[in-house]
Amino acid sequence: MYPTLNEMFETSVKRFADNVALRMLIPTERKKGKGVQLVLNEISYSRLGETVGRLGAALQALGVRKGDRVALISKPRAAFAMALFAVLRCGAAVLPLDPDLQRGELKRILEEAGVSAAIFSGSKAEDLAAIRSESLPDMSLICMDRSTLEGIEFMDAVVLGHRPTASIPVTQDDLAILMYTSGTTGNAKGAMLTHRNIASNTLAAIKVVDLSEKDDFLSIVPWYHIYGLTITVMCPIAVGATTTYTPVDRNLMQVMHRAHPTVILGVPKLYNVLYERVHSSIEKSALKRLITRMSPALMGKLVVHKLFGNQFRFFTSGGAPLNPEAAAGFRRLGIGILEGYGLTETSPLLTASELFASEPGMIALDDVEIKILDPGEDGVGEVLARGPNIMAGYYKNPQATAEVIDDELWFHTGDLGVISNGHLVLSGRAKNVIVLDTGKNVYPEELEWEFNSIPAIEEIMVYEDERQGVPVVSALVYPSESALKELGITNKDDALDHIWEEIKKANENLAMFKRIRYKECVRLVDEPFEKSVKLDIKRFKVKLSASGESQPADQPL
């Protein structure tokens, strides 16, 4: 039996009333001199609970009912957490969305989900007003910042105008979070995560690292991603701990000094940068090199004391595969780093590594079962998972649900792995998703759908490649000979130039992180792609050129 997220939240508000629930480190330009100063805003559990109660009452007055879906579109801030729990208090489900999504992407998801309201930061006011006018006339709009647009409520005003009312009763099996894994295509998939799904994963994650009210989480990951939502919002609140969020990563050292964290939660890119700085600092000093060689643990303690403070406990990494060199380097210095593996559909954690793991692999969380489907001679097969954290299914998409959850309730992750000595060792991703080093997910089908509207492109396959050692979005293009000839283009270099210019235009319809950013990441192929009986590209059979050299300019199409 698991508590609902509402019960978990209300219990912590009562039990830890005076504790700091949220601490926001907001960067502002200094009035005198150069640089950025960090302004600290804090909110206690009691104040958070009071505000959530008032906002919940306001949402009910605006017509939000049990079973509704309410969009939440904002970067992490105190108002995000207030809105999250206020929507849940109404018995409705939260639809968290990346504020970097463009209007067309937002519109498709909001229409698919049939939202009754949207709570958002000021940057999205015009987009949402336009979407309401075009297709969702009954959608209530509540802005976290003041807006001059007609028909948009100001969040602070509606909070002040209402007194808390009783929370609407919900069950473990009621929908809590509707988390979309795709945005651009017409068949976007929304993972339905229930109160049971997220509460079970929250409680299991807490056990892994023995979290308590004394912990202070420093989070630099987005909360509209399931990793950020479960691990950096729900987990701290469940134990009465503090979540400190900052959007500043270029001022990383300043942030570390100010935050005094016990746990840092980030994506691999953060740890790659941090390790490079630590390693570079050691290499530049003969004394530090000597200390590291004689006593790595002592050097690690000096690093921790200087960067984070002696209260620091460990790092956690999620959202993308962790660089083994950075992980091993920190562990060698006695600095623990926990890597988690999971998916949006699994709320998200399935497995976690040990803080000082000497061998690759991760252990399944409590109540989570892992098995390998059809292992080969090397033991590698598709990773399957079963447990209370597995989603209820894809919203309004029973066919897609049946493709990933079988009759025995095993979720087919699409990832490849092997179980060795009780540890899951991942071998690769069988799914098409591109995982950037920022932890952002890019779905090739989304981009293909967008770029296929370019007349000069007959077929396109978007895939993950590497550039300067980091993952990048790339594409192979089979050009339309007839469309190019109409433009007077008859050789491959000119064709590539034209197609790249068209891709750059189409990029404007996509969030920044989804875009193909470099011309070198687009290459032309001579033949159509091999297809399955469903006319899907057989991606695993496409052989990518190792050199990526462009064709001679005089070579005909």
User: Can you tell me the distance from the alpha carbon of 197 to that of 193, in angstroms, rounded to the nearest whole number?
Assistant: 6
pLDDT value of residue 509: 87
Strand, coil or helix: 509: coil
CA distances from 416 to 58, 259, 375 (A): 47, 38, 9
pLDDT value of residue 72: 98
- Domain boundaries 443-541, corresponding CATH code: 3.30.300.30
- Its sign, for the CA torsion 145, 150, 152, 155, is positive
pLDDT value of residue 553: 42
User: Can you tell me the distance from the alpha carbon of 259 to that of 41, in angstroms, rounded to the nearest whole number?
Assistant: 12
Q: Write out the residue limits of the CATH 3.40.50.980 domain(s) in the chain.
A: 5-212
User: Can you tell me the distance from the alpha carbon of 205 to that of 84, in angstroms, rounded to the nearest whole number?
Assistant: 20
Q: Write out the residue limits of the CATH 3.40.50.12780 domain(s) in the chain.
A: 267-429
Other Cβ atoms closer than 10 A to 310: 8
What are the helix (H) ranges across 161-295?
195-209, 226-229, 235-239, 252-259, 268-283, 286-294
Q: Write out the residue limits of the CATH 3.30.300.30 domain(s) in the chain.
A: 443-541
| Contacts of 423 by beta carbon, 8 Å cutoff, 6+ apart | 359, 360, 361, 362, 363
Task: Give the fold, CATH level 3, of 267-429.
Answer: Rossmann fold (3.40.50)
Give the pairing type, strands 349-352 and 336-342. antiparallel
pLDDT value of residue 186: 46
- Phi, psi angles (nearest 5°) of residue 446: -60, -50
CA neighbor of 266 nearest in space, from 211, 312, 227: 227
pLDDT value of residue 406: 96
How would you write the pLDDT of the chain (557 residues) with one tens digit per residue?
A: 899 999 999 999 999 999 999 999 876 665 555 566 667 789 999 999 999 999 999 999 999 999 999 999 999 999 999 999 999 999 999 999 999 999 998 999 999 999 999 999 999 999 999 999 999 999 999 999 999 899 999 999 999 989 998 899 999 999 999 999 854 444 568 999 999 999 999 999 999 988 999 999 998 889 999 999 999 999 999 999 999 998 766 677 777 778 889 999 988 888 888 898 899 999 999 999 999 999 999 999 999 999 889 999 999 998 777 878 889 999 999 999 999 999 999 999 999 999 998 888 999 999 999 999 988 888 888 999 999 999 999 999 999 999 999 999 999 998 888 999 999 998 766 667 788 888 887 878 778 888 988 999 999 999 999 888 889 999 999 999 989 999 999 999 999 999 999 999 999 988 899 999 999 999 999 999 887 544 567 776 664 433 344 333 445 66
pLDDT value of residue 250: 63
Which one is the CATH code of 5-212: 3.10.180.10, 3.10.129.10, 3.40.50.980, 3.40.50.300?
3.40.50.980
pLDDT value of residue 188: 65
Contact 90/56 with Cβ under 8 angstroms?
Answer: yes
- Phi, psi angles (nearest 5°) of residue 464: -95, 130
Residues 455-472 as b or e (16 or more Cβ within 10 Å = b): ebbbbbbbbbbeeeeebb
pLDDT value of residue 142: 97
| Contacts of 360 by beta carbon, 8 Å cutoff, 6+ apart | 324, 423, 425
